[in-house]
Amino acid sequence: MAGIVIDGISKAFGNTVALAALDLAVADREFVALLGPSGCGKTTLLRIIAGLETATTGRVLIGGRDVTNLPPRARGLAMVFQNYAVFPHLRVCDNIAFGLKMARAERTRIDRQVARTAELLQLAPYLDRYPAQLSGGQRQRVAVARALAVEPALLLMDEPLSNLDALLRLDMRAELKDVLREAGTTTIYVTHDQTEAMALADRIAVLHGGRIEQIGSPSAIYHSPATRFVGSFVGSPPMNFLRADAGRLMGIRPEDIDLVDAGAGLPFRVSVVEPLGAQTLLTGTTDGQVVRVALPGEHVIAAGATLFLRPRPDRIRWMDAATGNALAQAAG
């Protein structure tokens, strides 16, 4: 049992408020992604859960036990550090084995786990090397392997794939998801990459300025953003927000806009066309406001053309222009 309850955690560094009275509950075996821009407090929150940083206020419970005042080693978790923190004086195999050795695991189990995780992270050829003899991406994979090797009940990962090249990242993402679900590991996964969060998580918590803006399933975060920030941070390209009547904003995703016959919709002057293969991305203006539209790949459109747009009514998300919060959606 390794559910986590974060209860009113706040953290200030001098005058900087990194976290503001944050609450979050993660169920046993759940995979939660903490998603937010750089500097929003993701690493700080993870370090508080691990016990490496003391919170200014609030409690952390792991498996129902209050661990707020326990040292990291008594919390029974593993962590992948954003800066790897792979021990420079130990070979890759000893790095991976470190946690098991500290736990006085049996030799056979250590060997088995080192081999297994090295295989999973494609590190087998490098087991006898020192970290200084590895690339950044390889070092990062050692950090992941070191955490997986202890088969933790609770795993904290701080941007663990950030330094891998695109193809390997896709590969590793799928492997991680598979392994962690199989093992039933409760996972908190920090990332600033919204696709990664969407692909991996049972639930996503979007952090902004030390607060959770919204927490929910990837689909809820994507289709029903609670705030303007969530809508513009999640999704690539982000959601469009168009000024409407009565202090409202109309939020609409670029792919939820259809082309209609002349005069039947909003006039849209195309300035940039980006054919991406699966999609064709249009950027232009409607009524003086910048709008992005994502069409299925087969459309051929020239820059400078004027098209007519119609947002799908059931996909419109109305927002309060002043507060940036979503409005009751019946008004649409």
Partner 1 sequence: MMRGRALPYLLVAPAFVFLAVLFCVPLVQTIALAFQTGTGFGLGNFVQMAEDLNFNDAVVNTFRLVGVAVPLQMLAALGMAVMLGHLRAGRDLVLWIWTIPLGLSDLAAGLVWLALLNDQGYLNTVLFHLGIINGPESWLTYETPMALFAAIVIAEIWRSTAIVMVVLVAGLQLVPKEYAEAASVFGASPWKIFLRVTLPLLKPSIQSALILRTVLAFEAFAVVLAIGGRNFPVLVSEAYTWQHFNQAPAIAAAYAVVVMGISLAATVVYLRVLRTPAAQRA
Ligand X SMILES: Nc1ncnc2c1ncn2[C@@H]1O[C@H](COP(=O)(O)OP(=O)(O)O)[C@@H](O)[C@H]1O
In the bound complex, what is the minimum distance in angstroms from residue 34's beta carbon to Mg ion? 10
Restricted to residues 140-169, the positions that interact with Mg ion (CB under 5 A) are: none
Restricted to residues 146-175, the positions that interact with partner 1 (CB under 8 A) are: 146, 150
User: Cα 321 from chain centroid?
Assistant: 26
Name the residue among 39, 35, 57 with its Cα closest to residue 48.
Answer: 57
Which spans in the chain are helix H? 42-50, 92-102, 107-120, 136-149, 166-183, 194-200, 218-223, 228-233
Residue closer to Mg ion, measured from CB, 82 or 286: 82
Given 16, 83, 135, 236, the residue binding partner 1 (CB under 8 A): 83
Under the binding rule (CB under 8 A), the answer on residue 233 touching partner 1 is: no
Name the residue among 122, 151, 146 with its Cα closest to residue 135.
Answer: 122
Could you list the beta-strand ranges (E) of the chain.
Answer: 4-13, 16-26, 31-35, 57-62, 65-66, 78-80, 154-158, 186-191, 203-208, 211-216, 240-243, 248-252, 257-260, 266-275, 279-286, 289-296, 306-311, 317-320
Cα separations (Å) of 158 from 106, 132, 291?
Answer: 29, 21, 34
Residue closer to Mg ion, measured from CB, 10 or 82: 82
Stretch that binds partner 1, among 97-105, 115-123, 234-242, 250-258 (CB under 8 A): 97-105
**What is the distance between the alpha carbons of residues 59 and 6, in angstroms, rounded to a whole number?**
6
In the bound complex, what is the minimum distance in angstroms from residue 275's beta carbon to partner 1? 45
**What is the distance between the alpha carbons of residues 100 and 277, in angstroms, rounded to a whole number?**
47
Given 9, 30, 43, 139, the residue binding Mg ion (CB under 5 A): 43
Name the residue among 273, 290, 291 with its Cα closest to residue 282.
Answer: 273
Binding site partner of 289, from Mg ion, partner 1, ligand X, none, Cβ cut-off 5-8 A by kind? none
Given 81, 189, 222, 318, the residue binding partner 1 (CB under 8 A): 81
In the bound complex, what is the minimum distance in angstroms from residue 55's beta carbon to ligand X? 12
Binding site partner of 277, from ligand X, Mg ion, partner 1, none, Cβ cut-off 5-8 A by kind? none
Say whether 298 sits in a helix, a strand or coil: coil
Contacts with ligand X, residue ranges (CB under 6 A): 13, 16, 18, 36, 38-44
Residue closer to partner 1, measured from CB, 40 or 100: 100
Under the binding rule (CB under 8 A), the answer on residue 189 touching partner 1 is: no
Under the binding rule (CB under 8 A), the answer on residue 77 touching partner 1 is: yes
Compute the C-alpha angle 108/111/116, nearest 5°. 125
Stretch that binds Mg ion, among 42-50, 136-144, 145-153, 263-271 (CB under 5 A): 42-50
In the bound complex, what is the minimum distance in angstroms from residue 197's beta carbon to Mg ion? 14
Count of residues binding Mg ion (CB under 5 A)?
Answer: 2
Q: Which residues bind Mg ion (CB under 5 A)?
A: 43, 82
